[in-house]
Chain A
């Protein structure tokens, strides 16, 4: 309310015959929008890349100066300067003199248009998450044996009846690619898996060098601390050791007989990995 009064007092007012009349601002009428706000167009692959790299679009002028006709001509579309329509074309220095430069220009243009169309379709496919159409087998200058085989298989199938009535040579094998093959679902594959498991186990070294080094280091430290302790004062040895076990969480040895546990540990580690460190450690702790 107070806010409203404050706003009113700020507005222009005039007083006539002792009555103050405030001039209210013009009312605005907001009509709801009929159609939803159009969605942003999905980015094409190039647009996304350009944004990532910070490439700015450069505006090209619509008209180009043509030096021959001495006038501006559109860059594209009706009335543009068309190279293929000119009466003369220069043959590049290293080019084959018998090559038709006009045909070459037209073929290049056609290829560019086709490439653009393919890119457009792929962009749509990418956005709609449809399968991106492959280009299939493209012609190459030096096809490999594999490539030729594939081409043969494709052409064999490229008839109206999908190659149903095509004849094959006696020993001809048409193969597009290898078909994936998996084991049957209902076979017992445990023996096979055990074999693989054995292979993995054989690969791992019996002597865990890292662990052995760790244990050696640990023993060294232990001995050093023991020597230090015994040097300090020869009061109640066992009792002091037990209480000072600040590293309970790591060493976790019962205060009674440290040496014995220790010997056991070392042996285990060298004899193999099967010791089950977890179980052993737990036992020591509890």
Chain B
């Protein structure tokens, strides 16, 4: 376990800010105690400082996980990939949202992209390639992805056009259980 280097912090924050913008500062400054980001086995964890100190006593190779895993750095290019486990912290601060019709929920939760016909609502002014959080119609966060079309373009898209590229969804807790920490 170690703090992130300058470069890692930058790539990590850049990715995170695609979804929650400046609200990252709210994750760093919390009223209910000090929280921090730590890197362990290429994964970034968000954890209270108190718990982090306790986890620090465990030898690195024995330590499986601690706190909430936000995602991981890829081995080769050192890019950051967000995991669905970060959703709990992304959803409250989401800048751009997409609501899915009940009929499209299952498709999304099986890991598919969202087509226009499944789109319930979308935040005004979403540009394409913008990170968006996906909700069900009753405001339950389902996952996140990238907008394939801007709000304006969505309006004129035909029903089978992909409007949102899938990135992560809560179905992964079942589908991809052993890869999540």
CA distance A214 to B122 in the complex (A): 14
Contact with B3, one of A185, A215, A252, A274 (Cβ below 8 angstroms): A185
Contact A188–B38 (Cβ < 8 Å): no
The closest CB in chain A to the CB of B37 belongs to A193
Is B2 an interface residue when CB atoms closer than 8 A count as contact? yes
Is A280 an interface residue when CB atoms closer than 8 A count as contact? yes
CA distance A120 to B95 in the complex (A): 56
Is B125 an interface residue when CB atoms closer than 8 A count as contact? yes
Q: Of residues B10, B120, B125, B152, which shows the largest number of chain A Cβ atoms within 10 Å of its Cβ?
A: B125
Is B51 an interface residue when CB atoms closer than 8 A count as contact? no
The closest CB in chain A to the CB of B95 belongs to A278
Contact A214–B28 (Cβ < 8 Å): no
Closest Cβ of chain A to B153, distance in Å, is: 9
CA distance A225 to B177 in the complex (A): 50
Q: Which of A216-262 contact B (CB under 8 A)?
A: 217-218, 247, 249-250, 252
Chain B interface extent, by class: 35 or more
The closest CB in chain A to the CB of B38 belongs to A185
Q: Of residues B1, B3, B29, which shows the largest number of chain A Cβ atoms within 10 Å of its Cβ?
A: B3
The closest CB in chain B to the CB of A180 belongs to B5
Q: Which of B85-132 contact A (CB under 8 A)?
A: 94-97, 119-128
Contact B24–A214 (Cβ < 8 Å): no
CA distance A190 to B27 in the complex (A): 10
The closest CB in chain A to the CB of B101 belongs to A249
Is B81 an interface residue when CB atoms closer than 8 A count as contact? no
Is A211 an interface residue when CB atoms closer than 8 A count as contact? yes
With A186-B56, A214-B152, A278-B97 known to touch, is A249 a contact of B125 (CB < 8 Å)? Answer: no
Is B36 an interface residue when CB atoms closer than 8 A count as contact? yes
- Chain A residues contacting B122 (CB-CB under 8 Å) are 249-250, 281
- Chain B residues contacting A83 (CB-CB under 8 Å) are none
Contact with B5, one of A182, A211, A274, A278 (Cβ below 8 angstroms): A182
CA distance A201 to B29 in the complex (A): 17
Is B158 an interface residue when CB atoms closer than 8 A count as contact? no
Is B34 an interface residue when CB atoms closer than 8 A count as contact? yes
Contact A196–B13 (Cβ < 8 Å): yes
| Contact bitstring B120-162, A, C-beta under 8 A = 1, else 0 | 1111111110000000000000000000001110110000000
| Contact bitstring A191-204, B, C-beta under 8 A = 1, else 0 | 01110110111001
Contact with A187, one of B3, B13, B155 (Cβ below 8 angstroms): B3
Contact with A196, one of B6, B29, B38 (Cβ below 8 angstroms): B6
| Contact bitstring A156-188, B, C-beta under 8 A = 1, else 0 | 000000000000000000000000001111111
The closest CB in chain B to the CB of A191 belongs to B28
CA distance A199 to B52 in the complex (A): 27
CA distance A208 to B52 in the complex (A): 39
Is B67 an interface residue when CB atoms closer than 8 A count as contact? no
Q: Which of B1-53 contact A (CB under 8 A)?
A: 1-6, 9-10, 13-14, 17, 21-22, 24-25, 28-29, 34, 36-38, 49, 52-53
Additional 7 contacts, C-beta under 8 A, given A188-B36, A192-B9, A201-B17:
A197-B13, A197-B28, A250-B122, A250-B151, A250-B154, A274-B22, A277-B124
